[in-house]
Amino acid sequence: MSRIGKQPIKIPAGTTVNIQGRHIEVKGPKGSLQRYIHELASVKIDGDYLIVERADDSKQSRAIHGLTRALLFNMVEGVTNGFKKELLVNGVGYKVEEKGKALVLYLGYSHPIEFRVPDGITAKVERQKEIRIILEGFDKELLGLTAARIRAFRPPEPYKGKGVQYVDEVIIRKAGKAAAK
């Protein structure tokens, strides 16, 4: 039995789960998410809990069992509480501006980058000692993809640490040419 797959998912008050065959829809205070479930897994509602079961004991079925449970848990957690990711922008002259539903990033290129934030994701820019981009949303998959796309415009480089990085990301620094002597 999958250690993750066998854990039931608690459905909080204010959240509804609708199962129609392989299609599952989860609605909550933050929004609504839907997903199709793999045929090797099945989902049933038992009181206030969602229970994921698998078809057989094959290796693929065991993998799908845990994956399905994790995806459903993220759906329930997202529509109930939401998710948050933070990015740091480090570099001389680098800046980020909010322009309606878009972010305008100045990352050392000859032109600014205008990034349209997808629906369901909100972006805020905070300027303290460093520039922080705070992304919030109820779809964990879309939130992670959006953060990765913003980071990909200027990934952090190992010599000075300039670029866009996640808040909890550790950049392993290199010494550079001067240290070779």
Q: How buried is residue 137: exposed, middle or buried, by Cβ count under 10 Å (0-12/13-18/19+)?
A: buried
Are residues 70 and 116 in contact, defined by beta-carbon separation less than 8 angstroms?
Answer: no
Percent of the chain scoring above 70 in pLDDT: 97
Higher confidence at residue 179 or residue 92?
A: 92
Residues 6+ apart with CB under 8 A from 24: 17, 18, 34, 35, 36, 37, 43, 72, 75
CATH of domain 83-166: 3.90.930.12
pLDDT-derived band at 5, boundaries 50, 70, 90: confident
CATH of domain 9-80: 3.90.930.12
Give pLDDT, residue 161.
Answer: 86
| pLDDT tens-digit map of 80-120 | 999 999 999 998 989 999 999 999 999 999 999 999 999 99
| pLDDT tens-digit map of 58-67 | 899 989 999 9
pLDDT-derived band at 180, boundaries 50, 70, 90: low
CA–CA distances in Å: residue 19 to residues 25, 32, 44, 128: 7, 14, 8, 46
Residues 6+ apart with CB under 8 A from 59: none
Give pLDDT, residue 181.
Answer: 57
Tokens of 45: 């509602």
Domain boundaries, the chain: 9-80, 83-166
- Whose tokens are 């200027």? That residue is 154
Sign of CA dihedral 134, 138, 141, 146: negative
Asked if domains 9-80 and 83-166 share a fold, the reply is: yes
| pLDDT tens-digit map of 144-163 | 999 999 999 999 999 988 99
> Per-residue pLDDT for 18 more than 90?
yes
> Per-residue pLDDT for 1 more than 60?
no
Q: Which contiguous run of DSSP H or E holds residue 161?
A: none
